[in-house]
Homo-oligomer: A and B are copies of this chain.
Amino acid sequence: MVYRRTQQVVKRLAARRQAILAAAREAAAEGGMAAVQIAPVAQRAHVAAGTVYRYFPSKADLIAELIAEVTRVELQAIRRAADAAPGPSSALAAAVTTVAVHVLSHRKLAWGILAEPVDVDVSASRLMSRREIAGELELRIAAAVRAGHLPAQDTALAATALLGALHEALVGPLATDDLNDPARMRDAVQTVTLLALRAVGVMDARARGLVVQAVMPARTLLGA
């Protein structure tokens, strides 16, 4: 009498949920958040529109989860890169470069998640995403300050400003097509990283050295 989900069904449900999320991510990557509409996403995930609502209470929840997922991956990447660096300054450079490279690699998606216009419902998720990533940058700035590599400063504001500089320079309305060229991408990443490091107080010469070091691990990602 009692209906119980068999293991097989549980698996299928989970897979379907993932499919919907993936479809949403793809849509966002192709056309920005505006393209994340229930009907198209459902079609892409091979389910009916109504089915989406069996997995997510509302579109806002779907997007919130999408943002959270992308943010989680991003944070992991930043931490991995920074933790592998030999010192605080290198860690900061690595963190900045990581953000820059990721953002460049998934321009539209990043734009949608970080800046594109949306309903107020999702702004909270987006806010948290920004806060988390900025927070991660702040950690590295603070560590460098503690180590005496940087002058004392408002680390929170600095981290936010850095994030803004990265986004605007790499995904904002600027981002003309020439940023699709791997060589230009690397140039842009280097330039922006250099700006960021100098902004928080790294001396020009030292910053240039750090940039070269930081960009090396990202070489493959940048197709060089």
Contact = CB atoms under 8 A, between A and B. Distances in A.
Copies in the complex: 2
A108 interface: no
A130 B167 CA distance: 14
B196 A174 contact: no
A13 interface: no
Nearest to A153: B191
A178 to B, nearest CB: 11
Most chain B CB inside 10 Å of its own CB: which residue of A156, A165, A172: A165
Contact of A199 (B34, B165, B168): B165
Contacts of A195: 157-158, 161, 199-200
A192 interface: yes
Given A126-B173, A165-B165, A198-B200, A157 B192 contact: yes
A20 interface: no
Contact of A117 (B117, B161, B169, B200): B117
A204 interface: yes
A201 interface: yes
A164 B154 contact: no
Interface string A149-162: 00101101110111
Contacts of A165: 161-162, 164-165, 168, 199
Contact of A161 (B118, B154, B168, B200): B168
A10 interface: no
A188 interface: yes
Name the 5 nearest CB pairs between A and B, nearest first: A117-B117, A164-B168, A199-B199, A161-B165, A165-B165
